[in-house]
Structure 1
């Protein structure tokens, strides 16, 4: 096993932890056990555990194998592009990464999701769909209304309302 890298910046450490949490949340959302996921990715269950906990000793190849097994795509994006994309969100645009903490109702509805601070649009849509009966539409903030509108536009064949 490669040695743990000790001189990582806080930003890099946080990125590894976030990546691991995202992969764990995806695995849990798919209801795939750790042993099955590890086997599908061609790694040990211990390596998967280390990955999901943000250990720096896990190889990039292992991360990419798990991402592939979970149907995730890893893309390196220049920091300037991420800032441009996030600042250019319009009323009808759908963010690539949805932070439940920015949307009060989504945060309430996603109380059972642990280990991730970010959702994909499809995951957010699923949470809204399953729990829409608990949402008080009069209390929705404009930003969350816009998110729901963008989800409806992006997934036109799927209804959020029951």
Structure 2
């Protein structure tokens, strides 16, 4: 019987949904069936399906078993090592750029992407950098939150190859 529904804030539910979707994509990229992964993880196919659909009541233990079955547990171990090595105030090294960036998660990006109206709309990293570069004069520097500053820095470092054309 499934665990009771867990209530997550919208941002956390969105994050869990992204993680769950990536677990499914990882399984498909490996040409593994749900039955294969479930068997190797020691869970039912239904539980795997719930995880892949973003059900927040799936336990951490189940999530870890599935990562191990997909040979992804080392990636999580690297994240844990990064967190352990981190000292207060120290920034983590840049991680991989997400494939899509949610416009509404970044206030100044939302402001300069005035032409994008759909709730939950996303742009590619290339599109995001181009929006910032083209409209930088409209970005209020005082209102750039740390999360958005980190995104801009990461965009410049990766997509812009260290160059910010403003």
Tell me the TM-score normalized by structure 2.
0.51
* Larger Rg computed on CA atoms: 2
Correspondence list, 1:90-105, <5 A: 95-100=94-99, 101-103=124-126
Query: Deviation at 1:96?
Result: 3.1
- Once residues 142 and 13 of structure 1 are traced to their aligned partners in structure 2, the CA distance between those partners, rounded to angstroms, is 29
Unaligned runs of 5+ in 1: 87-94, 105-140, 148-162
Superposed CA deviations along residues 34-91 of structure 1, whole A, max 9, x for unmatched, are 111111111111111110111011111100000011111334549x98x9336xxxxx
Correspondence list, 1:132-143, <5 A: 143=158
Tell me the TM-score normalized by structure 1.
0.52
* 1:25 to 2:31 alignment: no
Hey, what does 2:16 align to over in structure 1? 16
| Structure with bigger RCO (C-alpha 8 Å, 6+ apart) | 1
* 1:5 to 2:13 alignment: no
- Once residues 23 and 13 of structure 1 are traced to their aligned partners in structure 2, the CA distance between those partners, rounded to angstroms, is 15
Hey, what does 1:85 align to over in structure 2? 92
Hey, what does 2:135 align to over in structure 1? none
Correspondence list, 1:98-117, <5 A: 98-100=97-99, 101-103=124-126
Unaligned runs of 5+ in 2: 100-123, 128-155
- Once residues 28 and 146 of structure 1 are traced to their aligned partners in structure 2, the CA distance between those partners, rounded to angstroms, is 31
Relative to 1, partners in 2 of residues 1:63 and 1:142: Cα closer, same or farther, differing over 3 Å? closer
Number of equivalent positions: 101
Q: CA RMSD in A?
A: 3.0
* 1:56 to 2:56 alignment: yes
Relative to 1, partners in 2 of residues 1:48 and 1:71: Cα closer, same or farther, differing over 3 Å? same
Query: Deviation at 1:103?
Result: 4.1
Equivalent position SS for 1:65: helix
The answer to whether the 8 A contact 1:20-1:51 is kept is yes
